[in-house]
Amino acid sequence: MLRVIASTLLVLVTLENPILTWAQARGTTTPATPTPQTPAPGAPAPGTPAPAPAQPQRGQRAAAPKPPMPLTLRQVLEALSSTRNSARVEDQISKAGVQFQATPGVLDVLKEFGASAKLLSMIPAPPTPPAPPAPKMAGALTVVCEPKDCAVIVDEMYKGPTTQNRLTVTGLPAGNAKLEIYAEGYEPISRQIQLPEGKPAEEKFALKRSTLILQQSASASLLKALSGIGGIDGVQELADLEGNGFLQWTNSGGQVEEWMMTFNKRIGKDLVVTFKSKDGQCTASISGQNAKQDCRGGLKNSGEKIAQQATLLLLSYQVHDVMQTLLKRPLITSETDENRLESSDTKDSYVLTLDSDGLPVDLVYRIGDNDTPVQVRYANYMSVNKARYPGRIAIGRLNSQPVWVFAMNSVRTKVTAAR
């Protein structure tokens, strides 16, 4: 481009010189010189050469040249790419500086373009960020675990075990916190809590024993109860019994009547009971699904229903049969009482309570959800060879007076007699 402009100027100068020569040869005078203008005040007269630049006076310093502009990241990268000489770029940076900072990303890019370690060290580091404000702190947190001590974890940090069911934790930040509680044999508990700034807080936890522990405890308690009535040999002896005693039952008028009785229970669902009163006698039998009654004297046509119902109840709630049924069902102990065994499904439910010796003393049986539970109380255990059998069995509705009471005078096992 510079060459083109120079050529054009040269042509213009060549064309102008012949015209001037031809005018001079013909004697043509040149146009009159225009009247000079009066110069402005302070301006130099026409024809006067321009004054030279002012020189610094003696003792004055010359104006310093402007410093070079700091290099941008793009300029440094272009210089590295074009020169492929890190030392030359280092010299430029030492004189001009740079407009960017040595962030990790910038350093990686400079390394890709061949920057040396020295060049990288010349890039200023970014300023240190200001320290964050001090966190707001909560007051002391007291954790209470019952019924036993537990391990405490706050925001996934172990804070130690409770002592006498309590632990005080300090140094926690205010705000939301996750509190976790663990104790051997109990279900873990997790809870989100809010810790107020500068104020104490207390969290209480009621521990629940784990299902596995409840099942293991129930199995142990049931085996203890079976041992209490004589173990395997005792259960076999109670399967074939005979005995005598009396039955007390409450009639529709609320009066208590009493019948003497003798019974003969054979293995399985097989029972024969003979009831006697001052008015007559009734014999009721149940064998499998078959039941019949035979009443005589004053009980004929009036005592059959009572005899049938009493025989069915006595057969249904034999204590050793109840425990054999529970051995085949899922069973757990109560949360609050290891001697309270519970078993339930969609059809029915059992709650069996044992005394301190492991003997059954109370049974609550319910069919479905709407039926009023039946309550059976066992008492006055008597020895039957190696076994133990309740001398009193009281049956009624839950939380009501029993309607049927079977009291035994004597009970014998026929299994021993057969041996």
Cis omega (within 30 of 0) on the bond before 147? yes
> Residue 241 and residue 257: Cα distance in Å, rounded?
25
Counting Cα atoms < 13 Å in the Cβ hemisphere of 176 gives 2
Nearest-angstrom CA–CA distance, 299 and 152: 71
End-to-end CA distance of the chain: 135
What are the residue ranges of helices labelled H in 63-191?
73-83, 86-96, 104-112, 117-121
Give the pLDDT score at 55: 61
Q: What is the pLDDT of residue 405?
A: 97
Burial class (CB in 10 A: 0-12, 13-18, 19+), 36: exposed
Name the CA dihedral angle for 401, 403, 409, 412, rounded to a multiple of 10 degrees. Answer: -120
What distance in Å separates the CA atoms of residue 271 and residue 265, rounded to the nearest whole number?
4
Q: pLDDT tens string for the chain (419 positions)?
A: 323 332 333 333 333 333 333 333 334 444 444 444 545 455 455 555 555 555 656 666 666 678 889 999 999 999 999 988 889 999 999 999 999 999 999 999 999 999 999 999 999 999 988 888 888 999 999 999 998 999 999 999 999 999 999 999 999 999 999 999 999 989 999 999 999 999 999 999 999 988 888 999 999 999 999 999 999 888 889 999 999 999 999 988 889 999 999 999 998 889 999 999 998 999 999 998 899 999 999 899 888 999 999 999 999 999 999 999 999 999 999 888 889 999 988 889 999 999 988 999 999 999 887 778 999 999 999 999 989 999 999 999 998 888 999 999 999 998 854 44
pLDDT, residue 17, reads 39
DSSP string, 302-365: TSHHHHHHHHHHHHHT-HHHHHHHHHTS--EE-SS-TTEEEEE-SSEEEEEEE-TTS-EEEEEE
Q: Give the torsion sign (CA, 95, 101, 104, 108).
A: negative
Distance CA 82, CA 119 (A): 16
What does the alpha-carbon distance between residue 261 and residue 407 come to, in Å, rounded to a whole number?
9
The CATH homologous superfamily to which domain 141-206 belongs is Carboxypeptidase-like, regulatory domain (2.60.40.1120)
pLDDT at 331: 93
pLDDT at res. 58: 64
Q: Do domains 141-206 and 215-418 have the same CATH topology?
A: no
Q: What pLDDT was estimated at residue 1?
A: 38
**Residue pair 310/249 in contact by the 8 Å Cβ criterion:** yes
In angstroms, the CA 419 to CA 416 distance is: 5
Domain boundaries, the chain: 73-121, 141-206, 215-418
For residue 49, what pLDDT is reported? 56
Q: How confident is the model at residue 416, as a pLDDT?
A: 58
Please tell me the predicted confidence (pLDDT) of residue 389: 96
Question: Alpha carbon of 195 to those of 146, 182, 336, 364, 412: distances in Å?
Answer: 22, 21, 32, 46, 69
Q: pTM value?
A: 0.61
pLDDT at 5 (0 to 100): 33
**Class (C level, CATH) for 215-418:** mainly beta
Structure tokens of 9?
Answer: 């100027």
